[in-house]
């Protein structure tokens, strides 16, 4: 029987690119497909191998032309590493091969290392952080061996710079980074501590999507050990291959539970999978089948799910998110059961736009036509739509209108009605903030003020991106403090 090769689905990453660039999807795709990126690395630099693998995978999630220099300066790539990289790329898109050899004419040269005179942009992990430099700017001396967190962050930052270049963003909508020295643990403060082994106890990860798989990628790169509960009810599908940090085409074909993707990646940890919702986790906690988490990493994409996470009443919630107009803004919200809690950050929205109105806003399809949701989409429906609306909907001719919001990425099965473009390098920067906060809160930052951190990846981290947060007056956590205390006490007793 002849095998049929299904083309890689780049729709979500291209939607993010199109939204950021305000460009016509077809024109932008043609530009990206013609763009050449050449990679090189000095694998003698600690963390460079992990950074190179992550960078290659992030760039392969865009339909670029990629090439790899196996012998650029010191620390040349060995045949085994090249083979691993080629297989990694083929797992994402088997039809777009990596060219190994010298840089093709006109290619953008991205290098991992500290010798950056021949590259357009160079980055290297330094402990849990990263340094980026363009030509003409001196590369600093590395203080510590690069950790898995520093390596993934380096790759995500480099991919972000490639993204800005290849999409030709309009002036004023972004900032090309010439110099960056940033650590998601210490942020912009000076820290001389070397990375230590990360052992985790009673940690829960809620959500195994774009941010959740990026968290798992970082934990694997760190060689983390200990216990992890991972909760997600969804299955891995083809559009996830180009937006998540883990998972291959074969996983999408098998429609594996997303929690299985995380467990497979974290062989060094004791991973308890819950293929379900937060309610299922809470039931297991209250019956003693799962321990009460001390810390929860929230990697969900809607307000209701964030409120559900708060009902676990863990000692600390680290909520990560992506959003903004183009889906390129990343955020971290630190939350306590006594406040500020996730409800303080995300009050219930009583003015949310319906899925029907959002479909109308994005495509131009009349509300009266959307109301006839059981009738299939026809050529007549597209005739008077704006160009963007026609391009989004033409591939779905013959399908019922009621399902179009989900098909073009305006909704999720969890009920989120907001349009969320996605890219792995954005999710990895959000995940880096979360793992950085996890390390910080587990060490010298245990008693530091509760923070909210937010920046747009089109501009990069900035010193003014951190705000202290206090509980919101009248929030549930303030009005029901006694109930929360009693629930936490009972669940702690059940877990012992």
pLDDT tens per residue, range 464-495: 999 999 999 999 999 999 999 999 999 987 65
Q: Would you state the pLDDT for residue 415?
A: 42
In this predicted structure, the answer to whether residue 214 has a pLDDT above a threshold of 50 is: yes
Res. 3 pLDDT band, cuts 50 70 90:
very low
Q: Which of 130, 155, 182 is the C-terminal boundary of a domain? A: 182
State which residues form the domain around 218. Answer: 199-349+421-495
Tell me: do 176 and 251 sit in the same domain: no
Decide if 414 is inside a domain: no
Tell me: do 48 and 117 sit in the same domain: yes
For 410-447, what is each residue's pLDDT tens digit? 544 344 444 456 799 999 999 999 999 999 999 877 88
Rounded distance, CA 203 to CA 183, Å?
A: 22
For 255-314, what is each residue's pLDDT tens digit? 999 999 999 999 999 999 999 999 999 999 999 999 999 999 999 999 999 999 999 999
Tell me: do 454 and 326 sit in the same domain: yes
Tell me: do 212 and 277 sit in the same domain: yes
Q: How far apart are the first and last CA of the chain?
A: 55
Q: Would you state the pLDDT for residue 192?
A: 67
Decide if 413 is inside a domain: no
Rounded distance, CA 3 to CA 352, Å?
A: 45
For 361-413, what is each residue's pLDDT tens digit? 788 888 777 877 657 788 888 887 887 778 788 878 877 766 566 555 554 43
Q: Would you state the pLDDT for residue 359?
A: 81
Decide if 211 is inside a domain: yes
Residue 62 dihedral angles phi and psi, to the nearest 5°: -120, 150
Q: What mean pLDDT, rounded, does the chain reach?
A: 89
Tell me: do 116 and 171 sit in the same domain: yes
Q: Would you state the pLDDT for residue 4?
A: 46
Q: Which helix (H) or strand (E) holds 302?
A: none
Tell me: do 427 and 369 sit in the same domain: no
Of 77-81, 200-204, 364-368, the least confident: 364-368
Decide if 412 is inside a domain: no
User: Cβ(302)–Cβ(211) under 8 Å?
Assistant: no
Pairing of strands 108-112, 36-41: parallel
Location of structure tokens 């003409």: 136
Rounded distance, CA 182 to CA 27, Å?
A: 35
Decide if 368 is inside a domain: yes
For 218-269, what is each residue's pLDDT tens digit? 999 999 999 999 999 999 999 999 999 999 999 999 999 999 999 999 999 9
pTM recorded for the entire structure? 0.86
Query: Which percentage of the chain shows pLDDT scores above 70?
Result: 89
In this predicted structure, the answer to whether residue 145 has a pLDDT above a threshold of 90 is: yes
Rounded distance, CA 420 to CA 409, Å?
A: 7
Q: Which of 156, 182, 208 is the C-terminal boundary of a domain? A: 182
Residue 322: beta bridge partners?
330
Decide if 142 is inside a domain: yes
Kindly report the number of other CB atoms within 10 A of residue 49's CB atom. 20
Tell me: do 172 and 236 sit in the same domain: no
Q: Would you state the pLDDT for residue 352?
A: 56
Decide if 2 is inside a domain: no
Angle at 431 between CA 428 and CA 434, to 5 degrees: 155
Tell me: do 27 and 153 sit in the same domain: yes
Q: Which helix (H) or strand (E) holds 122?
A: strand 121-126
Residue 271 dihedral angles phi and psi, to the nearest 5°: -100, 120
For 155-166, what is each residue's pLDDT tens digit? 999 999 999 999
Q: What is the 3-state secondary structure (H, E, C) of 455-488?
A: EECCCCCCHHHEEECCCCCCCHHHHCHHHHHHHH
- Number of domains the chain contains: 3
**Which domain CATH number covers 145?**
3.40.50.720
Pairing of strands 316-323, 295-298: parallel
Tell me: do 214 and 158 sit in the same domain: no
Query: Which percentage of the chain shows pLDDT scores above 90?
Result: 69
Decide if 374 is inside a domain: yes
Tell me: do 89 and 203 sit in the same domain: no
For 120-131, what is each residue's pLDDT tens digit? 999 999 999 999
Q: Which of 333, 296, 299 is nearest to 312 (CA)?
A: 296
- Residues 128-149 have a mean pLDDT of 96
């Amino acid at each position: 029987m002849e095998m049929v090769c299904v083309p890689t689905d780049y729709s979500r990453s291209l939607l993010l690119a199109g939204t950021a660039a305000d460009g016509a999807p077809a024109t932008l795709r043609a530009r990206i497909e013609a763009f050449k990126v050449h990679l090189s690395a000095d694998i003698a630099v600690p963390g460079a191998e992990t950074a190179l693998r992550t960078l290659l995978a992030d760039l392969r999630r865009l339909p670029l032309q990629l090439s790899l220099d196996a012998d650029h300066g010191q620390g040349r790539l060995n045949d085994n590493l090249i083979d691993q990289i080629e297989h990694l790329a083929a797992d994402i898109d088997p039809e777009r091969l990596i060219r190994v050899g010298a840089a093709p004419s006109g290619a953008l040269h991205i290098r991992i290392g500290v010798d950056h005179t021949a590259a357009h942009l160079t980055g290297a992990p330094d402990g849990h952080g990263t340094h980026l430099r363009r030509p003409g700017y001196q590369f600093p001396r590395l203080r510590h061996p690069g950790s898995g967190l520093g390596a993934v962050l380096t790759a995500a930052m480099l991919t972000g710079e490639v993204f800005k270049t290849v999409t030709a963003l309009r002036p004023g909508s972004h900032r090309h980074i010439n110099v960056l020295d940033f650590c998601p643990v210490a942020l912009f403060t000076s820290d001389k501590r070397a990375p230590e082994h990360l052992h985790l106890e009673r940690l829960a990860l809620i959500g195994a999507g774009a941010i959740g798989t990026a968290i798992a990628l970082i934990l694997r790169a760190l060689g983390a050990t200990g216990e992890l509960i991972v909760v997600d009810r969804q299955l891995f599908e083809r559009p996830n291959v180009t937006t998540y940090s883990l998972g291959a085409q074969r996983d999408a074909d098998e429609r594996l539970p997303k929690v299985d993707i995380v467990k497979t990646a974290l062989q060094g940890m004791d991973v308890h999978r819950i293929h379900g919702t937060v309610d299922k986790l809470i039931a297991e906690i209250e019956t003693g089948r799962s321990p009460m988490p001390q810390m929860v990493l929230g990697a969900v994409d809607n307000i209701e799910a964030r409120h559900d996470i708060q009902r676990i009443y863990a000692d600390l919630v680290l909520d990560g998110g992506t959003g903004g107009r183009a889906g390129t803004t990343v955020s971290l919200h630190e939350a306590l059961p006594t406040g500020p809690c996730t409800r303080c950050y995300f009050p219930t929205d009583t003015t949310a736009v319906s899925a029907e109105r959002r479909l109308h806003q994005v495509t131009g399809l009349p509300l009266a036509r959307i109301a006839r949701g059981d009738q299939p989409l026809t050529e007549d429906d597209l005739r008077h739509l704006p160009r963007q609306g026609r391009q989004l909907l033409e591939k779905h001719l013959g399908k019922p209108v009621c399902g179009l919001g989900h098909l073009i990425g305006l909704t999720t099965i969890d009920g989120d009605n907001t349009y969320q473009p996605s890219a792995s390098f954005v999710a990895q920067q959000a995940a880096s903030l979360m793992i950085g906060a996890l390390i910080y809160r587990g060490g010298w930052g245990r008693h530091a003020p509760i923070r909210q951190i937010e920046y747009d990846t089109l501009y990069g981290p900035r010193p003014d991106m951190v705000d202290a947060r206090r509980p919101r007056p009248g929030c549930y956590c303030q009005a029901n403090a006694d109930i929360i205390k009693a629930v936490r006490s009972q669940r702690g007793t059940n877990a012992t």
